[in-house]
Amino acid sequence: MSRREGAGAIATVTLSNPDKLNAVTAAMWRQLKQTMDELSADDALRCVILRGEGKVFAAGGDIEEFQTLRATLQQARIYHDEWVAGALDAISLCLIR
């Protein structure tokens, strides 16, 4: 999924699902949030680079999961409100102290 590279003032987080053009799975959204929360707590960190593995950043959400993880309104709300929005909020709040 994503991994942190480097230590010190700059960290690189890489989305890794190259067989699907880095389409973001539910597990990747959850891990991205956790990674960004951890980075935000690092007082030595000054810059985070978010990139995709290979030539593509990300194709968007992995639509193959939509039939199972977004089949109902309740599932879609959890997927978006908890996983996607949680990760995007963690990105936007990272390094704000």
- The domain tally of the chain equals 1
For residue 3, pLDDT beyond 60 = no
Nearest to 32 by CA among 74, 85, 97: 85
User: What is the domain-level CATH number for residue 68?
Assistant: 3.90.226.10
Domain residues for the domain of 25 are 2-93
For residue 1, pLDDT beyond 90 = no
| 59-94 confidence digits (pLDDT tens) | 999 999 989 998 999 999 999 998 999 999 999 998
For residue 97, pLDDT beyond 80 = no
pLDDT confidence tier of residue 5, bands split at 50, 70 and 90: low
pTM: 0.86
Residues 34-50, mean pLDDT to the nearest whole number: 91
Taking the C-alpha atoms of residue 59 and residue 20, their distance in angstroms, rounded to an integer, is 8
Residues 18-45, mean pLDDT to the nearest whole number: 93
Q: Residues near 76 by Cβ (< 8 Å), separated by ≥ 6?
A: 70
